Amino acid sequence: MHELSIGAAVVDTAVRHAAGRRVRNVHLRVGALRQVVPGSLAFYFGLVARETVCEGATLEQELVGARLRCLACAREWAADALAFRCPSCGGAAVAVLSGEELEVESIEVETKTEASCIA
């Protein structure tokens, strides 16, 4: 259920940066290790976007796969499962290279020209 608070934070960020303009699209990068359910996040985004400049905007979610690096032998690999041992040396000391992202990559807003053409 943390998707509700994530959705609220995404809407908050988009509203702040839209500066009063209607938001059409929000592109979000979500790391696989964040354990976000995409459908739930999209639902809650739509819910908290109501009566804001984000109402009706689409939420585009880009899943970022988990990548790890062994601190002992420096091997890097894609973490397909929750196995955090190096496949080369068996070392358990690893660094997460990607997969923890949760960032608004971009927002698309209406311009004044577009808004006046719609009215």
Tens digits of per-residue pLDDT, 59-83? Answer: 999 999 999 999 999 999 998 766 7
* Amino acid at residue number 25: N
* The 67-70 sheet, strands edge to edge: 76-78, 67-70, 94-98
pLDDT score, position 1: 63
pLDDT score, position 119: 46
Predicted TM-score (pTM) of the model is: 0.81
| Mean pLDDT rounded to a whole number for the chain | 91
Q: Which fold has domain 2-65+99-110?
A: hypothetical protein PF0899 fold (3.30.2320)
How many C-beta atoms lie closer than 10 Å to residue 79's C-beta?
18
- What residue spans of 19-85 are helical by DSSP H? 38-49
